């Protein structure tokens, strides 16, 4: 459904039907794709949209640090890195055993690699028929699904406090910073989780 919303929003913003499908395969990162389409649709330059997408995707740096043992080696690692996104990392971290982490990561990642471009194609078709996609609430699907994915992990007290701190930083900065930058600013809360985890481990 999120892929459909992306394809529909892209087409109603003036992009050709094949553009969100191609982006879905090559980029495979919903937030940066939505941001890229939004900036172009608002009249921004492709360079600005590209830089904003790269800034948002900088969150993959801590992602890689969080799941280094699930990516494999060689060509497998290259594919594993391409599959890295919010959902694959969240599903992997929700597992306790290394084998289950790897299985969750790869099953989720390969599923998204297939379903995301396919959903974008269906959404592009929908967008060519329904011109007012905002009336369907399609733009709200992505944040709603991400929230549902992270809720189980918030049972951990240090992680919950860190997430709330990050959310507060992002919300405070949103009125003052360009789109995408508040999310990066939220990464400043990560050291809190590291410190609290170390204190917990030493007790």
Q: What is the pLDDT of residues 3-47, one digit of tens each?
A: 887 888 888 888 898 999 999 999 988 878 887 887 787 777 788
CB 120 within 8 A of CB 27: no
d(CA 89, CA 92): 5
Q: What angle do CA 146, 149, 153 make, to 5 degrees?
A: 125
Closest to 68 measured CA to CA, from 76, 59, 77: 77
Q: What is the pLDDT of residues 103-121, one digit of tens each?
A: 999 999 999 999 999 999 9
Per-chain mean pLDDT for the chain: 80
Is the pLDDT reported for residue 132 higher than 70? no
d(CA 126, CA 123): 5
Is 100 strand, coil or helix?
helix
Residue 136: the pLDDT is 61
Residue 192: the pLDDT is 66
pTM given for the model: 0.64
């Amino acid at each position: 459904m999120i892929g459909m919303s992306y394809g529909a929003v892209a087409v109603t913003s003036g992009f050709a039907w094949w553009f969100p499908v191609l982006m879905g395969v090559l980029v495979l990162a919903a937030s940066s794709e939505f941001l890229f389409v939004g900036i172009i649709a608002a009249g921004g330059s492709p360079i600005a949209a590209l830089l904003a997408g790269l800034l948002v995707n900088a969150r993959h740096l801590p992602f890689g640090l969080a799941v280094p043992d699930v990516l494999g080696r060689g060509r497998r690692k290259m594919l594993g890195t391409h599959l890295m996104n919010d959902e694959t990392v969240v599903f992997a971290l929700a597992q306790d055993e290394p084998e289950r982490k790897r299985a969750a990561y790869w099953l989720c990642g390969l599923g998204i690699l297939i379903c995301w471009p396919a959903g974008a194609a269906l959404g592009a078709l929908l967008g060519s028929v329904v011109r007012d996609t905002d009336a369907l609430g399609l733009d709200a699907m992505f944040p709603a699904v991400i929230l549902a994915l992270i809720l189980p992990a918030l049972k951990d007290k240090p992680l919950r406090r860190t997430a709330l701190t990050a959310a507060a930083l992002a919300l405070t900065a949103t009125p003052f910073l360009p789109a995408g930058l508040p999310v990066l600013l939220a990464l400043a809360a990560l050291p809190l989780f590291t410190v609290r985890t170390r204190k917990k481990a030493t007790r």
